[in-house]
Amino acid sequence: MQRRLSLLAGVAALGLTLAACGGGSGTPSDNNKPSDATGKVGVFTWWADGSEKAGLDALVKVFNADYPKLTFDNLAVAGGAGSQAKSVLAAQLKAGNPPDSFQAHAGAELQDYIDADQLEDLTGFYQANDLTSQFPKDLIDRLTVDNKIYSVPSNIHRANVVWANVSILKKAGLDPAKPATTLDGWFADMDKIKATGKTPLAVAGSWTQVQLFENILLSSLGADGYSGLWDGKTDWKGAEVTKAVNAYKKALTYTNSDRDSLSDWAPATQLIEDGAAAYNVMGDWAEAKFEQDGKKSGTDYAYFATPGTQGVFDFLADSFTLPKGAPNPDGAKAWLATIGSAAGQAAFNKVKGSIPANTTAKTDDFSDYQKSAIKDFSQDKIVSSLAHGAAVPVAWLNDLSTAVSKFGGDGNVETLQTSAAAIATKFAK
Ligand code: GAL
């Protein structure tokens, strides 16, 4: 990935000297450069606790230094992957009560808000701040509709990572540095772990199961077969998908029996830290938790691409918007300027476990995992995450999540395939 010197840090400093342009008045100004707006900036995310809040706090620290006249108003709603936040946000937008800025995933999820005419066009903001050239083209394409850009990405996360407890693997006679490269090989390793009395695979409820399902689909079908599920090129009722769903069914047999009562991703990842389970398939926000909890990679935990997905980067990116009707649009633009800046991205991503979307951000002091993710992102095949808003619109994800959750109870392969096919037909454009 190409890295250049930061332009935006200079722009942010320059912004402090620009003339006032509306502040908290609620009137959008023409000025797309960061202004010396005043007042509160209400920002809606689901980074409400733990390592996710620590990431947000690091970003807010840069924002406060960039814009001392603005006050950050934290409107976070708890629940990983926006499991609670997205419906709360939808209700607020419907009621005409938008925040100044909200978190939205690049890709299909963002498209929902664009289609509903809920977002301001940020193309002028990008031009004025020379942003386009600082983000990977692939990412800009996912944020662009009809030649307009609607949000500023804060980070890139990877969804196909396995996090492993090193001592459990060693006790089962497995080498943590040489993970399985196929699902069958991985299941054989899980049998060995099971024989030691440990839980092979930790998962929590709802969306974390969808993310596990996504990983098994990707491993079984390959990058093209997986991507075809979202654009109609792969038949949900086909034999390849039957094989993949059966593999998911098998994977569930290795999971903790209390999976449905674990409320979020962190308690499942905690089972790895506690030495209660061997593997957890989770996005690389888990890296932030291991770091925050003082765990050492290589000694305490190991990471590797979900077996069968080597060379594929299951991508998602958080991005931030300027909703139509935001109370403080100039304050929101200042927030977006900090998010887009090299300094903001370096501070935020270092703590969040993700990699900067802005390719000019400094990453020398990032963790080994993050450095490996930067390298992989620059050379792997990129696919879109299902569970994290990149592949399908929110309504599609919600319906499919219900079907996956039902499958967790009844294990009926044919029903899951038939439901997923009907859902794909319902939402296909
Ligand atoms: C994702 C989000 C990540 C992280 C994760 C777990 O949807 O993009 O930044 O917050 O959920 O909550």
Quote the pLDDT of residue 179: 98
* Same-domain pairing of 335 and 396: no
Provide the Cα torsion 135, 139, 144, 145; round to 10°.
170
- For residue 105, the ligand 1 atom closest to its alpha carbon is 8
**What digits encode the pLDDT tens for the residues 321-379?**
999 999 999 999 999 999 999 999 999 999 999 999 999 999 999 999 999 999 999 99
Residue 200 corresponds to which tokens in the numbers above?
């092979």
Residue 173 corresponds to which tokens in the numbers above?
């006679």
* Same-domain pairing of 278 and 288: yes
Quote the pLDDT of residue 33: 63
Does residue 267 sit within a domain? yes
Q: Which domain holds residue 95?
A: 2-156+318-365
**103, 320 contact by CB (below 8 A):** yes
Question: What CATH number is associated with residue 54?
Answer: 3.40.190.10
Residue 390 corresponds to which tokens in the numbers above?
């990149």
* Same-domain pairing of 68 and 142: yes
Instruction: Tell me, using a 6 A CB cutoff, whether residue 316 lines ligand 1.
Output: yes
* Same-domain pairing of 117 and 220: no
Q: Which residues pair with 163 in a beta bridge?
A: 280, 303
Quote the pLDDT of residue 36: 80
Does residue 171 sit within a domain? yes
* Same-domain pairing of 306 and 188: yes
Does residue 379 sit within a domain? no
* Same-domain pairing of 416 and 345: no
* Same-domain pairing of 12 and 112: yes
* Same-domain pairing of 57 and 175: no
Does residue 381 sit within a domain? no
* Same-domain pairing of 45 and 100: yes
CA of 390 to the centre of ligand 1 (A): 12
Does residue 27 sit within a domain? yes
Quote the pLDDT of residue 5: 29
Quote the pLDDT of residue 345: 98
Considering only CA atoms, which residue is closest to atom 2 of ligand 1? 81
Mutate to test the pocket of ligand 1, among 157, 284, 349 (most ligand atoms within 8 A of CB): 157
Instruction: Tell me, using a 6 A CB cutoff, whether residue 158 lines ligand 1.
Output: no
Does residue 375 sit within a domain? no
* Same-domain pairing of 77 and 139: yes
In angstroms, the CA 401 to CA 399 distance is 5
Does residue 377 sit within a domain? no
Quote the pLDDT of residue 210: 98
**203, 216 contact by CB (below 8 A):** no
Residue partners of 158: CB distance under 8 A and separation at least 6: 283, 284, 313, 314, 315, 316, 373, 376, 377
What total of structural domains would you count in the chain?
2
Tell me which amino acid residue 37 is: A
* Same-domain pairing of 330 and 190: no
CA 384 from centroid of its chain's CA atoms: 10
As a whole number of Å, the end-to-end CA separation of the chain is 33
Does residue 371 sit within a domain? no
Give every residue of the chain whose pLDDT is below 50, as ranges: 1-29
* Same-domain pairing of 133 and 204: no
Quote the pLDDT of residue 11: 28
Quote the pLDDT of residue 371: 98
In angstroms, the CA 181 to CA 177 distance is 12
